[in-house]
Amino acid sequence: MASEPQKFKLAGIMGMPVLQSRSPAIYNHWIREHGVLGAYGHLPVRIEQVETALRGLAALGMVGCNITLPHKLEALKIIDSVHPMARQIGAVNCIVVQEDGSLHGMNTDWVGYLGSIKEVQPGWRADQGPIAVLGSGGAARAILYALVSEGAREIRLVNRTRAKADELAADFPGIVQVHDWSQRHDVLAGCAMLINTTNQGMYGQPPLDLQLAALPKEALVSDLIYIPLETPLLAAARERGNPTVNGLGMLLHQAVPAFEAYFGIRPQITDALRRAVLATFAT
């Protein structure tokens, strides 16, 4: 009796804009490496069409998709079930199509972020001193959860819209303190770490308007952006002697559990994968 043919598995990254994402280079490298019958691509979707697009995943036979800016918070309102950790964070970045066609949301950003930091600085600890975080979007939610889970004692949150920051800080009472955007330069005083979760400094966006004079030179500066690999913020930090971490490591580490959820295989981050992804920056 002939065996049932292997099902072709299709997934992708949904956002707007999204064609700059290097996620397809990561997933398709693993697909080839593990001999998976499948593919991973870009899914450019406007914000007003997110629900239609997500509901179409099952009809298209897709196994799921990653969600990026600006759709992370909107997607949470649409999907059918949410992993408890993603519910606690308040944002999803990974949606898996279930056998019955329903949509299940996960968040792998938080574990991806911690993996990227510990890879570069194995001795890093979240309780080494105050941490300044810029931004209050879906990524910021995952970062705050990650920092608090690692024992952070004081997080200084700054966002252009104060109300959004206040809403986010309410989930972490006693740890996250909100400061006005006008105070963003001064809150860096005494910090052990600075994290940019906004899109300022990303390709096609203006540089982040931030003066680093008050930031201690031993403080770790982290930018979630990876296009370009060195943002104006990271360049300025490096020039004054601060250790820096770009967003590429987070992209790689958060993809590991997502790939496993889509394709049933736990991949590894290898030098070959890094070379494959870095090669896309030269094109």
* AA letter at 229: L
- pLDDT per residue as tens, the chain (283 positions): 445 567 899 999 999 999 999 999 999 999 999 999 999 999 999 999 999 999 999 999 999 999 998 888 889 999 999 999 999 998 899 999 999 999 999 999 999 999 999 999 999 999 999 999 999 998 999 999 999 999 999 999 999 999 999 999 999 999 999 999 999 999 999 999 999 999 999 988 999 999 999 999 999 999 999 999 999 999 999 999 999 999 999 999 999 999 999 999 999 999 999 999 999 997 5
The predicted model scores a pTM of 0.93
The structural domains of the chain, ordered by start, are: 9-108+252-282 (3.40.50.10860), 122-242 (3.40.50.720)
The pair of structure tokens assigned to 181 is: 């955007």
Known catalytic residues are 72
